[in-house]
Structure 1
Amino acid sequence: MTKTHQHPSHGRSGRPGGHGHGQAEILDLDAEVLAEHLASIAAWLPLKAEPRRIVDLGCGTGAGTFALLERFPEAHVTAVDASADHLEVLRVRARARGVPDRVRTVQADLDSGHWPDLGTPDLVWASASMHHMAHPDRALRSVHGLLAPGGLFAVVELDGFPRFLPADAPESRPGLEERAHSAADGFHAQHVPHRGADWGPMLTAAGFAVEDERTVTVDIKGNGSEAVGRYAHAGLQRIRGSAAPALSPEDLAALDELLDPTSPHSVLHRDDLAVRTERTVWAARRT
Structure 2
Amino acid sequence: MKVLLTGATGFIGSKLLPVLTQEKYDVYTIGRSNLDYAKHTKLDLKDNFAIENLMQSLKPDICLNLAWFVKHKIYWNSDENLDCLSLSTKLMKEFYKNNPNGIFYGFGTFYQYLHDTHIGNNLYTKSKIKTYEILKDFASLSNYKTSWGFIHNVYGKGEPSEKIISYLITKLRNKEEVFVQNPFNKFDFINVVDIANQIFYAIKNNYIGDFDICYGTSFTTQEIAYMICDILNVSKDLIKINHQSDQKFEISSKPLDIYKNINIKDRLCEMIDNL
**TM-score range with shorter-chain normalisation?**
0.3 to 0.5
State TM-score, norm by structure 2.
0.44
State TM-score, norm by structure 1.
0.42
Higher RCO, 1 vs 2 (CA within 8 Å, ≥6 residues apart): 1
